[in-house]
Amino acid sequence: MSGVDAVVLTMNDRPDEFAQAMASLLAQEGVTLDVVVVGNGCVPEGVPDGVRTVVTLPSNVGIPEGRNVGAGALSGGEYVLFFDNDAVLPRRDDVARLVAELERHPEAAYAQPRIADPVTGVTLARWVPRPRGARPERGGAVATMSEGIVLVRRDAFERAGGWPGHYFLFHEGLDLAWRLWDLGRTGRYAPQIVVHHPVTDPARHAGFHRLSARNRVWAAHRNLPMPLTSVYLGLWILLTLARVRSRAALGASLRGFREGLATRHEQMRKPIAWRTVARLTRAGRPPVI
């Protein structure tokens, strides 16, 4: 059976959801599963039997770096599953089906299930890894990912350098997906595999608008050829001005853009190749949108 290392973060703020998530994860069949729970600024509570590795971080280092720590704490699996602590796998073979998706598509570095609210069955547009979240029922190759529930080949994850840990929150999946595609790989969206996750508002996080805007600047500067960086950021500034209705949210977004621009030269720049730009464009996701 395929080996899967599963990484779950906790801040001890969702005890009921965490218990349900862990129960569904540990019940998986058809794979050899090793689970690590990472306490992001806390000592993890309520960790069930069956979890062999627990990591305590003295401070909250953010979601992408917490995931990096978790992935580094395990090393036996061919695949790494990153799994939100309020998600639920409704079937006992969901992880095995994600593994099978990657085995059917050896060019793919990662596989993404369809995420749906457990009560309404709704799949939010931001959970669908294609522009505008169009047609959540259609599978195929995708050029970004919804970070909370995704299976990644460990060798590709490590070659790409893992998650950009310093992002703290937001757009780390876009950054990682671009780097995986630059390795000559792709991503897969498998909507026939449905994983439950409650509908939440990302704006519930303090600093959402600022961090989201800052990280877009960083992702573009780190990964895009210079001519595309200005196009990408110009389009996102226009979209932000058109979409954001709250003056406070707009102000926070603009502060984030300014912060990102002011610190962009501190980022490790490794632009993707123009052939990768062409592949992303053929896949329906030119890296300017």
- Structure confidence at residue 204 (pLDDT): 63
Q: Is the pLDDT of residue 176 over 80?
A: yes
pLDDT at 135: 86
CA 38 vs CA 43, 93, 164: distances in Å: 8, 24, 17
Model confidence pLDDT, tens digit, residues 226-252: 999 999 999 998 988 888 778 888 899
Asked whether the predicted pLDDT for residue 206 surpasses 70, the reply is no
Check whether 205 has a pLDDT greater than 70: no
Listed by start position, the domains of the chain span 3-200, 204-271
Reply yes or no on domain 3-200 having CATH 3.90.550.10.
yes
User: Would you say residue 207 has pLDDT above 90?
Assistant: no
User: pLDDT per residue over 6-47, tens digit each?
Assistant: 999 999 999 999 999 999 999 999 999 999 999 999 999 999
pLDDT value at residue 203:
65
CB atoms within 10 A of CB 286: 16
Residue 111: beta bridge partners? Answer: 151, 188
3-state secondary structure 74-139: CCCCCEEEEECCCCECCCCCHHHHHHHHHHHCCCEEEEEEEEECCCCCCCCHHHCCCHHHCCCCCC
Highest-pLDDT range among 71-75, 202-206, 235-239: 71-75
21, 110, 131, 174, 249 from 143: Cα distances, Å: 27, 10, 10, 8, 28
Identify the DSSP state of 143.
S
CB proximity list for 141: less than 8 A, separation 6 or greater: 108, 186, 187, 188, 189, 283
